[in-house]
Amino acid sequence: MAILVTGGTGFIGSHTVVELIKENFEVVILDNLYNSNIEVLDKIETITNIRPKFYKADILDKEALRKIFSENKIEAVIHYAGYKAVGESVEKPILYYENNVTGSLNLYEVMSEFNVKTLVFSSSATVYGDPAKLPIKEDFPLSTTNPYGTTKLFNERILEDIYVSDNNWSIMILRYFNPIGAHKSGLIGETPNGIPNNLVPYIAQVATGEREFLRVWGNDFNTVDGTGVRDYIHVVDLALGHIKAIQYALSHKGVEKVNLGTGNGYSVLQVREAFEKACGKKIPYKIMDRRPGDIAECYADTTKAYELLGWKAKFGIDEMCQDGWNFSKNIIK
């Protein structure tokens, strides 16, 4: 029996595939390579000595999905495939709803057809909107501020309805905080296209000399130093959270929503400092106006992840930056 990983050559997917293989799961990857590279398979093979089966396929193509389910004994699915750029989702909402909602519906439909009812879904802390209280618990009110976030919330609602209609499903909705870092080998990591939106990929490009300085989006928030505070989590910790989640899902029915974060918040300037330490270079910065839609602080209450899954993040901010740099320094363009 195999685990199908949609989006398995992407940033989080590739790290999860490595950990699944380490835990002796058989893995089948589906990815259309829209935001990843086929060479990731070589890297996974170098790290694990196993080359997972790969399909270049699109979740919008139902027939391609049927082919994968009929050619493999799929036991469960970890669903990462989707678009994730917040700004782009505001400009191209139809594209985002089509890929992230229609594509996911296709997947759920085909899973149903093949009687595969165990799923781990990639959601995001973005579904909490601007939280009234911190740390954020899973039962806090949900709201979104952009189409990307809404696609995640729609998926959550769709999955709840699917479970109501058929109690044989086992669904884990994982809400990630801010994944950063890379595998210790330096072979896999995050390779953003164009100008990075997210903080750490941007800082990494300042460190490699691709960008001149970090633009700090506002220093007048009500936080430790006025800059935005987030719950950064090492991507390998996140991958390990998925292993626990899939193991749980394979032995329980129901729908569970679980935060995957560390529970610690770091400000933009604190992350910059940690990255400077990791790369041994100065990261110059300029304070700019706030970025529209940004919130002051966001960090997880991680109690449920520990109580339900026995999972806790192990890596701190210094290790996240060291491992992130270890990967980024090899991909200077």
Instruction: Supply the residues annotated as catalytic.
Output: 148
Strand locations in the chain (E): 2-6, 26-31, 53-56, 74-79, 118-124, 170-176, 178-180, 214-217, 229-230, 232-234, 254-260, 266-267, 285-288, 297-298
Q: Using CB under 6 A, which of 114, 140, 154, 217 touches ligand UD1?
A: 217
Q: Is 295 in the site for ligand NAD (CB under 6 A)?
A: no
Quote the least distance from Cβ 293 to ligand UD1, whole Å: 5
Q: Is 82 in the site for ligand NAD (CB under 6 A)?
A: yes
Interface stretch with ligand NAD, choices 3-11, 134-142, 270-278, 300-308 (CB under 6 A): 3-11
Q: Is 183 in the site for ligand NAD (CB under 6 A)?
A: no
Residue 264 exposure: Cα atoms within 13 Å on the Cβ side: 14
Residue nearest to ligand UD1 (CB): 228
Contact (CB, 8 A) for 28 and 53 = yes
Q: Is 33 in the site for ligand NAD (CB under 6 A)?
A: yes
Q: Is 10 in the site for ligand NAD (CB under 6 A)?
A: yes
What type of residue sits at position 22? K
> Could you give the string, one character per residue 153-182, with x where binding to ligand UD1 holds by CB under 6 A and - elsewhere?
-------------------------x----
Residues numbered 83 to 122 that lie near ligand NAD (CB under 6 A) are 83-84, 99, 103, 122
CA distance 194 to 198: 12
Q: Using CB under 6 A, which of 147, 179, 241, 265 touches ligand NAD?
A: 179
Mapping DSSP onto H, E and C, the string for 311-326 reads CCCCCCHHHHHHHHHH
Contact (CB, 8 A) for 11 and 234 = no
Cis ω before 147 (30° cut-off from 0): no
Q: Is 268 in the site for ligand UD1 (CB under 6 A)?
A: yes
